[in-house]
Amino acid sequence: MSINRKDFLKTACLSGVCLCGFSAIARSANSIDPSVPSASDDNQILIQDWVSMLISNLGVGLDQEAVRTVIRKSAIVHYNNLKMDDVLAGYIGNLDKFIGFLQEKWNWKIDYNKATKTLIASENKNYCVCPIIKHKKEQDTSAICYCSEGFTEKMFSTVAGVATTATVVSSIRRGDAFCKYKIVFA
């Protein structure tokens, strides 16, 4: 039985074997069986290269809204891996305090318009902070920014207690100087 690329990617991504989930599965598989060596730097490079190529190939001939949806949903793996619910626990219900945290501890630049319920957040770094894939100039891996949208939505929704919509408005992977998000609160 033959499976086309679109069906393969849809199945792989929805089952969590690609993107953020791929590295987590690879690492956990190695830790289950003590006879299998733990993930080395070489294995980490292999995983990042594999995911980079997958992300690059997602931009070729596939419906970008479908790609966006799948990658955004995959952000929960990174969110949970970082134990973000624990990190955010002291900020739930206090968006101003959380904004202060982002500015002080993460060095983000934030502009929040309470009247329009819109927040613009710049990571304020001249490099991509994504740990999932390596930046390769010969590959367009900008689709991974959809993961950042999902992560940011989950983070701000948790703190604010309302649904949010996050959009990456500039990205280092897309050739911009900084990664910047527009977050709209419901």
* CATH number of the domain encompassing residue 74: 3.30.1380.20
Residue in the structure block whose two tokens are 């500015």:
103
pTM, full prediction:
0.75
Return the closest-CA partner of residue 38 out of 24, 27, 50.
27
Q: List pLDDT tens digits, range 72-94.
A: 999 999 999 999 999 999 999 99
- The percent of residues in the chain predicted with pLDDT above 90, rounded, is 54
In angstroms, rounded to a whole number, what is the distance separating the alpha carbons of residues 176 and 161?
A: 31
* Number of domains, the chain: 1
pLDDT digits (tens, 9 = 90+) for 26-82: 344 344 444 445 557 778 888 888 888 888 888 787 888 999 999 999 999 999 999
Distances (CA, A) of 167 to 23, 46, 113, 181, 183: 25, 29, 16, 6, 7
Domain extent, residue 19, equals 5-185
Span between the terminal Cα atoms of the chain, in Å: 46
pLDDT at 136: 64
CB 85 within 8 A of CB 158: yes
